[in-house]
């Protein structure tokens, strides 16, 4: 498969949206982790719907992903800064 086709396939399977918020490194990093979380939850949902995972297994994996996302948020310090007034 050519390099261009491989890039198109990757972009189709793993789409990324640009970040529109305040461009700080921790915000951009968390946004990437949030998008990855959303993709993985989508896959787990599809696996559970198609019978490849039980709903309980999917739930357990989603719960683990959620805990990882919360830990990333805490480690990056997202939401701890005071809100700037315009």
Q: So what's the pLDDT on residue 81?
A: 67
Cα gap 21→72, rounded to integer Å: 18
| Residue 13 lies inside a defined structural domain of this protein | no
| Residue 16 lies inside a defined structural domain of this protein | no
Instruction: Count other C-beta atoms under 10 Å from residue 10's C-beta.
Output: 10
Average the pLDDT over 42-55 and give the result.
Answer: 97
| Residue 19 lies inside a defined structural domain of this protein | no
Mean pLDDT of the chain: 85
Measure CA 76 to chain center. Answer: 15
| Residue 14 lies inside a defined structural domain of this protein | no
Q: Using the predicted structure, report yes or no on whether residue 83 has a pLDDT greater than 60.
A: no
pLDDT band per the 50, 70, 90 thresholds, residue 85: very low
| Residue 40 lies inside a defined structural domain of this protein | yes
Give the whole-number percent of the chain exceeding pLDDT 90. Answer: 60
Average the pLDDT over 13-29 and give the result.
Answer: 79
Q: So what's the pLDDT on residue 5?
A: 76
| Residue 22 lies inside a defined structural domain of this protein | no
Instruction: Count other C-beta atoms under 10 Å from residue 61's C-beta.
Output: 17
| Beta carbons within 8 Å of 39's beta carbon, 6+ residues apart | 14
pTM: 0.74
Show the domain range for 47.
29-76
Residue 25 in 3-state DSSP? helix
How many domains, the chain? 1
């Amino acid at each position: 498969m050519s390099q261009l086709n491989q890039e198109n396939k990757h972009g189709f399977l793993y789409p990324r949206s640009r970040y529109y918020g305040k461009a700080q490194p921790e915000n951009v990093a968390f946004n990437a982790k949030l998008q990855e979380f959303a993709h993985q939850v989508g896959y787990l949902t599809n696996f559970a719907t198609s019978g490849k995972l039980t709903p309980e297994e999917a739930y357990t994996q989603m719960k683990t992903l959620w805990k990882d996302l919360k830990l990333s948020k805490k480690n990056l310090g997202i939401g701890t800064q005071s809100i700037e007034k315009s």
